[in-house]
Structure 1
Amino acid sequence: MAFTKGAGPTRRGLTVGVDIGGTKVAAGVVTPAGRVLARLRTETPHRSKSPKVVEDTIVGVVEELRRDYRVEAVGVGAAGFVDERRANVLFAPHLSWRDEPLRDSLKTRLGVPVVVENDANAAAWAEVCLGAGRGLRDVVVVNLGTGIGGAVIIDGRLRRGRHGLAGEFGHMTLVPNGHRCECGNRGCWEQYASGNALTREARELAVADSPVATRLLDAVGGDPGLITGPLVTQLAREGDRASSELLEDAGAWLGVGLANLAAAFDPQLFVIGGGVCEAGDLLLEPTRQYFRRNLTGRGYRPEAQIVRAALGNEAGMIGAADLARDALPRRRAGRRQNRLAVRDGR
């Protein structure tokens, strides 16, 4: 468990944001202005373990952060379906939660108000309030991590859907009868443009003993099972053609999916976040090319910009912490800062 403490005195109005993905749990103490005072990161318990093990991990990181800061509420960004009450995780493809009453369990154990939100919604909230989408009213955020999450802000409101399940773009069927997805379907978008997809394709290339995969294999001592997405990005930056092509392929699939989303939502801006975006323009340039190529009515309509998220991997944590203030009594939460460009459309 890695802990980083920032400078600055203890103050009021602090909340903890917890971002839970398929591979990591990141938490931080966040001010009302979005400044992260302390950070903590640990691995997500393996999905075969009970939901309580993940819950214990959340409690552990929050308690560690509360040793030095007075925390008034906790927000959890969960990689899964969160109900309309922002209380239960109905389904998490990369974890073992199934209709898990996470909010109430954590509230009982931590003794402070708790809000549970989909992790992509939390990240989107942060980006439109403080990041790349600040000041815009129609934004689609797509997070590329272990899978693909997403969120939609239309007319300045976070759209969660009737049951809280909107924005699960990663499980749109992009390729009928394509790769099997952990959600149970085939051909989901995240099987082609996520971190898992990038890793799978790189390993398959190496297993095939392709001559173009020489640098990939050399970098892992000949063991394809050690190839990771960050390694592919690193080698691409160093000029390895095969790694660059793998990122181009992921970018192409990303662009196709974004063109579909543009047809549905017509946003001003696409914000692309998540760990895979560390590749920068190695990923986003082919994304923009394939987006234009597949955009409905191309050449006869305004084209949404595609930009990298400004808050990086901390967006989900910051957004969850900010949304946690909704659980505070109004006299303690105070008025929203003028910096907020949108309001939560629950």
Structure 2
Amino acid sequence: MPAFSSESISAARSHAADAVPLALGIDIGGTKVAAGVVDGHGVIVEELRRVTPGRDARAVEQVIVDLVAELGSRHAIESVGIGAAGWMDLDGARVVFSPHLAWRDEPLRDTLEAMLHRPVLVTNDADAAAWAEARFGAGQGHSRMIMLTLGTGIGGALVLDGKVERGAFGMAGEFGHQIIMPGGHRCECGNRGCWEQYASGNALGREARELAGKQSPMAAALLAAVDGRAEEITGTVVTDLALQGEATSKELIAEVGDWLGLGMANLAAALDPALFVIGGGLSAAGELLLEPARRAYSRNLTGRGYRKEAAIEEAQLGAAAGLIGAADLSRARR
């Protein structure tokens, strides 16, 4: 049997990836629509952005058509993946519900395939980001991975044995709505005490505004950063100050990290992943967030001291993960 060097194996894998057709990923957010042509290595060849045209679903569909037409005029795109917040059916055909747009039980795949003349896949944006990290980012080499995106709330997705786990009805991954504090802060979902009310960017901003509103001397730097307007303190403001070394902001982020670790310990008790990948805007805090989260995770883990612990790492692909993952998943529709 001939021997192959690591260099020849790497070259063979690279050649195989180069042979994969180009796909187009589209990430639809509340304020922008991002589209990118993605190659077999998960690299964005070209990217365009447009403003999301309000909540008008037909207008959003036209933006998608325009983006595909423009990018398709310069690249040989063979499939299109659409990632958006909301619940999709298991076939990747219908948007059951989208919070940012007026899609309700919308047959989006068939509509767009008729307009674009290419295979289309519709997927949840968190699922798309998790798939990208599993294939091309922090999750490479791990067969069981949970991704958490910390921003306005907590987005989540689960990759098991090379497959995004959608659940029985396509709604798996709503980890941010596990109730972690019964009777706690009211959540937009209607319940009280959801995890995302304690471990998200919004939660960080709320806690900082509450401290500043009490005129605490500990909040002096926070108030100075917003010219004394406590209502303008956001999670991003707190994160920026913490990265500059401001003590109160670091403490506030550490508290969020404690809640993050507790919730991950709950997930580990049920799902036993090898890796947690942390993305979203709040992940910019890096180790200021992740180190307290790791400590809290270890402290609350079922069977601690007698079991292996999942790694907890920062996502690698940033804001582009959603469109990269949507593009790569769409290739299955070819």
TM-score between both structures, scaled by the size of structure 1: 0.84
SS in 2 for 1:27: strand
The answer on 1:156 being equivalent to 2:162 is yes
Match of 1:40 among 42, 45, 48: 48
Show the counterpart of 1:336: none
Identify which range, 278-287 or 224-233, moves more after superposition.
224-233
Assess if the C-alpha contact under 8 Å between 1:15 and 1:30 holds in 2.
Answer: yes
Show the counterpart of 2:38: 30
The answer on 1:320 being equivalent to 2:326 is yes
Instruction: Please give the residue correspondences for 1:89-100 in structure 2 after superposition, counting only pairs within 5 Å.
Output: 89-100=95-106
What are the superposed Cα offsets for residues 258-307 of structure 1, whole Å, 9 maximum, x if unpaired? 00010011111111112211110011011101101110111111111111
Query: Matched residues in 1 for 2:196 and 2:158: separation?
Result: 17
What are the superposed Cα offsets for residues 212-247 of structure 1, whole Å, 9 maximum, x if unpaired? 222222222222333332221110011212211221
What are the superposed Cα offsets for residues 119-148 of structure 1, whole Å, 9 maximum, x if unpaired? 111111111111111122111111222221
Instruction: Please give the residue correspondences for 1:1-346 in structure 2 after superposition, counting only pairs within 5 Å.
Output: 13-44=21-52, 49-328=55-334
Deviation at 1:22, TM superposition (A): 4.3
Amino acid at match of 1:295: L
Query: Matched residues in 2 for 1:170 and 1:253: separation?
Result: 11
SS in 2 for 1:193: coil
Assess if the C-alpha contact under 8 Å between 1:12 and 1:70 holds in 2.
Answer: no
Query: Matched residues in 1 for 2:192 and 2:279: separation?
Result: 24
Query: Matched residues in 2 for 1:61 and 1:202: separation?
Result: 40
Change (3 A) 1:324 1:258: same
Query: Matched residues in 1 for 2:192 and 2:66: separation?
Result: 36
Query: Matched residues in 2 for 1:57 and 1:223: separation?
Result: 37
- Structure 1 gap ranges (5+): 1-10, 329-346
Show the counterpart of 1:333: none
Assess if the C-alpha contact under 8 Å between 1:94 and 1:182 holds in 2.
Answer: no
SS in 1 for 2:152: coil
What are the superposed Cα offsets for residues 152-198 of structure 1, whole Å, 9 maximum, x if unpaired? 22233321112111111111111212222222222221121122222
Amino acid at match of 2:174: E
Show the counterpart of 2:6: none
Identify which range, 89-98 or 294-303, moves more after superposition.
89-98
Change (3 A) 1:200 1:33: same
Amino acid at match of 2:324: I
Identify which range, 198-207 or 54-63, moves more after superposition.
54-63
Query: Identity across aligned pairs (percent)?
Result: 59
Assess if the C-alpha contact under 8 Å between 1:22 and 1:146 holds in 2.
Answer: no
Deviation at 1:252, TM superposition (A): 1.1
Amino acid at match of 1:195: G
- Structure 2 gap ranges (5+): 1-18
Deviation at 1:116, TM superposition (A): 0.8
Query: Matched residues in 1 for 2:199 and 2:119: separation?
Result: 36
Identify which range, 118-127 or 11-20, moves more after superposition.
11-20
Query: Matched residues in 1 for 2:283 and 2:165: separation?
Result: 24
Query: Matched residues in 1 for 2:187 and 2:100: separation?
Result: 11
Change (3 A) 1:253 1:38: same
Query: Matched residues in 2 for 1:246 and 1:56: separation?
Result: 43
